[in-house]
Amino acid sequence: MAVREILKMGDPRLLRVAEPVREFGTPELEALIADMFDTMHAANGAGLAAPQIGVNLQLVIFGFKSNPRYPDAPQVPETVLLNPVLTPLSDEMEEGFEGCLSVPGLRGSVPRHTRLRYEGVDQYGNAIRREVDGFHARVVQHEVDHLLGILYPMRITDFSRFGFTEVMFPDLDPGADD
């Protein structure tokens, strides 16, 4: 297990469409997921997608009980999600601030679907199907975007709400800075 280097915006590997995972329960997959959790926890991330460490697979992890980077966010269950498919459950969208470990030091307000269903499998191939809203739905949309080569700044519509974390959120725990 190891903390891997997180690729930063500008790296073309973050712009690829990821390949589906076809083999489940393998030692290689277990090792990759362990590295992803180590990397996410070391950076206080709310989630991490495999392409962020240069692995072009449809694999995301997310979840936390509390997170210093998002002190007001409700708990999200720790989840390993492969080959995900998202289905919005209404036309309703909501704005909320996001950061990204691949875009360090910045935050931006991003419109996301308020409610959605996500489906996929875990690392053993067991089906996952959940209907979620709010911050949980936002985290899933952010992570699944990484599998499509989309970084959150590409989704911003109001650039007056995009800036440096230390300027826009000066009260945030300094250890929480990207």
Which residues have CB under 8 Å from 120's CB, separation 6+? 81, 82, 83, 84, 85, 127, 128
Give Cα 132 to chain centroid, integer Å.
15
Output the smallest distance, CB 1 to Zn ion, in A. Answer: 21
What is the C-alpha to C-alpha distance for residues 50 and 138, in angstroms, rounded to an integer? 18
Output the smallest distance, CB 60 to Zn ion, in A. Answer: 10
CA atoms within 13 A on the CB side of 114: 6
Q: How many CB atoms lie within 10 A of CB 30?
A: 13
Q: Specify the stretch interacting with Zn ion by CB under 5 A; choose among 17-25, 93-101, 124-132, 155-163.
A: 93-101
The residue nearest Zn ion at its CB is 100
Using alpha carbons only, give the angle 147, 88, 134 rounded to the nearest 5 degrees.
85
Q: Which is nearer to Zn ion, 101 or 116 (CB)?
A: 101
Q: Specify the stretch interacting with Zn ion by CB under 5 A; choose among 77-85, 94-102, 124-132, 168-176.
A: 94-102
Dmax of the chain from CA atoms? 46
Output the smallest distance, CB 53 to Zn ion, in A. Answer: 12
Q: Which residues are catalytic?
A: 143
Residue 100 binds Zn ion (CB under 5 A) = yes
Q: Which is nearer to Zn ion, 76 or 100 (CB)?
A: 100
Q: Which is nearer to Zn ion, 24 or 55 (CB)?
A: 55
What is the C-alpha to C-alpha distance for residues 175 and 43, in angstroms, rounded to an integer? 9
Count residues near Zn ion (CB under 5 A). Answer: 1
Q: Specify the stretch interacting with Zn ion by CB under 5 A; choose among 13-21, 70-78, 98-106, 160-168.
A: 98-106
- Could you tell me if 118 and 130 are in contact, meaning their C-beta atoms sit under 8 angstroms apart? yes
Output the smallest distance, CB 166 to Zn ion, in A. Answer: 19
Binding region for Zn ion (CB under 5 A): 100
